[in-house]
Every structure is written in C-alpha cells, then in structure tokens.
Chain A
C-alpha cells in the first residue's frame, strides 16, 4: 500500500494567516491526490482533486500543488470556518485508496 504522511499533525493559526499543509507519498503518485476538509461530527468535504483542481463551490483561498511524492494544500487567508481537520488521499494505486493521518488546524 502507498503510505501518505501529512505534516504537521496539528497547527495553531490566526484568522487571516496563510496556512500550508504538506502531504508526502511513499512512492510517486503523479497528481492522483485529493484534499478533504472535515469538521467535528461531520462528513469529509472534497476541496481539491487531481492535486490542484478546485472542487465546485470551494472558496478560491484554497489551493493545491505538487506532483510525484510531495504535495501542499494552502489556505491563503484563514477564515473562522476553516478551522477543521484536513486529509490528503491518493487514488493512484488502488486498492486501497489511502489517506494521510490528518492535520488539525485550530485557533491560536
């Protein structure tokens, strides 16, 4: 299985901050990388697919980049509703599709 490792596991930030989350794959996955946001008690929500494509309805402050093994999710200006846990997921080598362990973004 391809292992997905996110860093950091958690971070504290303020409204308006630029936030970057990193996801590293244990082998090359081209751009077969998705990002999800999950709020407590809620289902995950797709933010970014194919590494850099913004899902319909997702604010443009979210962006994704990367290819191969290293990927980033950037929130250009953190908003109160963005405090959540973020997961990366690979769909290059399946089964199984695998998720990172998550990055929790909370209020500083």
Chain B
C-alpha cells in the first residue's frame, strides 16, 4: 500500500528557503496515472493547493506562489521535493504531500488526491 511521508526543517527563518521532501514507499512514482502534489494549511485555516508534478516532468504551480516555488522529483530515490524561497510568516503552515489520481478520456482530465502524507508543520520565525 502506497505511503507518503513528509520531512524537513520545522523552523525556517524569514527570507530563507523552505525545503521539504516527500518519501514514497509501497509504490512507484513513475506512473502516468498519477501526479504528485503539495498542499498546505495555515494554522486554523483551510487548504491551499501549492502545485503538482507529473511523471513527464511537467509542473503546475499556484500562481500566487509561482515566483518562489519549485517542485521536483528524484525517481531513483523515490521521493519528490518542494522548495519555497523568500519565506515570510504567511508561509507558516502544515505542509502535506499527496498523490492525485488522473482519470477521464478527454481534456481536461479529472484529478483527485487519494493518498496523503501525515503532514509536517513548518514555522517561519526568526
């Protein structure tokens, strides 16, 4: 059964780069049937979609974060990563990685996040 696990520093200083890794076990990251994504949740607030990474290497980013964001994959090491630069207190959140099903026969395809990591808390503070 596929499992995802986020890891990375729990505390990041303002203006620095937040780096997180999502380790994938029990399955392959090399599948055209899924994308790999990041979602975050500020304390006491709702969910915000950060971005997605497809098997082809194509990435899609939330426009609100795009200028600071990079998502990449290391298939040989079975993990994918998020880097968010120039962080501020507004980036304090629980960060989740997730797998999304891709289905449907026509564009746009359907996406639904069916497997999630447990989440990791990142605080931006000096």
A-to-B contact residues, CB < 8 Å: 1, 32, 34, 36, 38, 42-46, 49-50, 55, 87, 89, 91-102
Complex partner residue of B62 from A32, A42, A50, A95, CB under 8 angstroms: A95
Which positions 36-94 of chain B face chain A at CB distance < 8 Å?
A: 39, 46-49, 51-52, 60-64
Other-chain contact of A100, B39, B46, B49, B96 (Cβ < 8 Å): B46
Chain B 12-38 per-residue mask, 1 if CB under 8 angstroms from chain A, else 0: 000000000000000000000000000
Supply 29 A–B pairs (Cβ within 8 Å), ascending by A.
A32-B110, A36-B47, A43-B116, A43-B117, A43-B119, A44-B39, A44-B113, A46-B112, A46-B113, A49-B101, A49-B114, A50-B110, A89-B47, A89-B49, A89-B113, A91-B111, A91-B112, A92-B108, A95-B51, A95-B61, A95-B62, A95-B63, A96-B49, A96-B62, A97-B52, A97-B111, A98-B49, A99-B46, A99-B48
A38: chain B residues at CB < 8 Å are 47
State in angstroms the CA–CA spacing of A96 and B60 once bound together: 8
Contact of A43 with B96 in the complex, beta carbons under 8 Å: yes
Closest Cβ neighbor of B4 among chain A residues: A43
Contact yes or no, B47 A95, CB < 8 A: no
Could you tell me the distance in whole angstroms from the C-beta of A104 to the nearest C-beta in chain B?
A: 11
Interface residue SS majority, chain B? strand
Interface residues of B (CB under 8 A from A): 39, 46-49, 51-52, 60-64, 96, 98, 101, 103, 108, 110-114, 116-119
Candidate in A92, A96, A99 with the most chain B CB atoms within 10 angstroms: A96
A residues near B60, Cβ cutoff 8 Å:
94-96
Choose from A34, A43, A95, A100 the contact partner of B118 (Cβ within 8 Å).
Answer: A43
Selected from B51, B110, B114, B119, the residue in CB contact (under 8 A) with A91 is B110
- Could you tell me the distance between the alpha carbons of A40 and B113 in the complex, rounded to whole angstroms? 19
Q: Please, which residues of chain B bring their CB within 8 A of the CB of A101?
A: 46
| Chain A residue nearest to B110 in the complex (CB) | A50
Q: A99 to chain B: which residues have CB within 8 Å? A: 46-49
**Besides A95-B63, A98-B49, 12 other CB < 8 A contacts?**
A36-B47, A38-B47, A43-B118, A46-B113, A50-B103, A50-B110, A91-B110, A95-B51, A96-B63, A97-B52, A99-B47, A99-B48
